[in-house]
Structure 1
Amino acid sequence: MNSISLVGRITKNIELREVGEGRFVTNNTLAVRKTFKKDTNTSEADFIPFVAWGKRAELLEEYCNKGDLVALNGKMQSRSYLNEQNQTRYVVEMLVEEIEFIQRKTPEHVIQTH
């Protein structure tokens, strides 16, 4: 069984790319909190790369920004590609199948005063 569910924060703003004939994709990373260190009051995170295609990619681009908290469901996949130096690179990433929007980093309804 290949199934993964993660809750975390998006690490950079979503950039949508068209890859031909109206097909869209986005790649990003999800910071998933893993522990809280009591002695230093800091938490650690795992950084999980993810890819979303089609309507899921468009929804992420429309509704999410860096720092937003989301839940992603999908599966892990591996692939390889040749980089600009003609070297083979291997990637393990989450293929997003479902998205749940949980919390914006700075809610739009909050008015900040100085």
Structure 2
Amino acid sequence: MATRKPLPPGEQFFTPGATGLRKTVEQRSALPLTFLFTQVPRWVAPVVLVILLLAGFVLDSWLGGLAVLPVVAFVGWLAYLSWPSLGAGGKLLRVAMLTFLVLVVADRFGAF
């Protein structure tokens, strides 16, 4: 039986004063994020994402686009959650990464 890892130390889990969509997304993300951090080995998520991304590069068809969609969703989800705490460089990097991934998906679905 695996032992549970403690949550990382931090001042706050949610964005102070968040309302509307941000508050809802943060609240609904708390359980999956906690599960990923405490129950899943650290190497699993990156390995799965790299495998899906490589499949997207190798498969030059709609299947490649389909393989990259979970990567887009995961990266977009984490980017949205981390956005308020990022500086300009971090925001630019996330926008560039998401743009690249969306272009890969669009290319594989034949949009270009």
**Shared fold, TM over 0.5:** no
- TM-score after normalising by structure 2: 0.22
- TM-score after normalising by structure 1: 0.22
More helix per residue: 1 or 2? Answer: 2
